[in-house]
Amino acid sequence: MVKELTVKVFSDGANLDNMLNDLNSGIVTGFTTNPSLMKKAGITSYIGFAKEVLKEIKTYPVSFEVFADEIDQMEKEARRIATLAENVYVKIPITNSKGESTVPLINRLTADGIKVNVTAIFTIKQVEEVVAVLKNNTPSIVSVFAGRIADTGVDPMPIMKEALEICRKKELAELLWASPRETFNIYQANELGVDIITCTSDLIKKLSLKDKDLTQYSLETVQMFLRDSTSLGFNILE
Ligand SMILES: O=C(CO)[C@@H](O)[C@H](O)[C@H](O)[C@H](O)COP(=O)(O)O
């Protein structure tokens, strides 16, 4: 168990067994899902899945994303999702697929006390626009896709640092590091003072490697190669 992390580690996925395992690890204090993760997990009923999750996870925050693309439909879905439980955050992408801003919608929802997780944020301009409409008395999450930013060859650290300063302007706004690529990102997020990082179960498991002796890890890596080469049984000298 990793004790010295101050960043909150959320579990990112839509497989209830994995979510519960992550919960039992004692590391995870929240959950996020998205349409792609629900598709991957083979979810067949949105509300059925959400209710199953919320029956098990009653206190930690759980983010469920809207599926609609038209803003008025998004609003209807958001208001429905928000009624599911107190610990629900409604995930709203910062734009729809046509590039129409959801900021006015986020303004309306948060004015009504609906907790939102604004997702798919990649730029400081987007962070500024959304934080401007968040409310001091309504908890909210601002999800910046640090990993996808890094995929483009851009260092996400300065962006996350600036995003954090902007989020601090609203009392209950938390910055979330989304799409991490490796366990090291958890320590980077921690170092910056980012509030939350959401990780797949695979990454969360790798936290157990913290402070592992590298010489020992090297040996175990070679032992893994040996196990696999033995099972393949090739004769290179034939
Ligand atoms: O809820 C969130 C962010 O709030 C997450 O589910 C977020 O959508 C995911 O971390 C990202 O979509 C994962 O991105 P990637 O690793 O597939 O590039």
Looking at 3.40.309.10, 3.40.50.300, 3.20.20.70, 2.40.10.10, the CATH number of the domain 8-230 comes to 3.20.20.70
What pLDDT does 61 receive?
Answer: 98
Q: How far apart are CA 114 and CA 95, in angstroms?
A: 18
ipTM: 0.97
- Contact present, 9 and 29 (Cβ < 8 Å): yes
Close Cβ partners of 20 (under 8 Å, ≥ 6 residues apart): 56
Residue having the nearest C-alpha atom to atom 13 of ligand 1: 179
List the beta strands (DSSP E) in 74-146: 88-93, 116-121, 140-144
CA distances from 208 to 3, 184, 199, 202 (A): 11, 12, 14, 11
CA 69 → CA 4, 14, 140, 180, 199, distances in Å?
41, 21, 21, 26, 26
Q: Ligand 1 test: best mutation among 22, 43, 118, 119, most atoms within 8 Å of CB?
A: 119
Determine the atom of ligand 1 nearest the C-alpha atom of 36.
12
Alpha-carbon span 201 to 124, nearest angstrom: 28
Q: Residue 198 corresponds to which amino acid? A: T
Given this model, what pLDDT does residue 4 score? Answer: 81
Q: Retrieve residue 32's tokens.
A: 């996020």
Per-residue pLDDT, 154: 98
Instruction: Give the pLDDT confidence score for residue 1 in this predicted structure.
Output: 47
Domain boundaries, the chain: 8-230
Whether the model clears a pTM of 0.80, i.e. scores above it, the answer is yes
**Ligand 1 pocket at CB < 6 A:** 12, 32, 34, 63, 91, 117, 119, 143, 147-148, 176, 178-179, 198
pLDDT in tens, the chain (238 residues): 444 899 999 999 999 999 999 999 999 999 999 999 999 999 999 999 999 999 999 999 999 999 999 999 999 999 999 999 999 999 999 999 999 999 999 999 999 999 999 999 999 999 999 999 999 999 999 999 999 999 999 999 999 999 999 999 999 999 999 999 999 999 999 999 999 999 999 999 999 999 999 999 999 999 999 999 999 999 999 9
What residues are paired with 199 via a beta bridge? 11
CA distance 20 to 1: 16
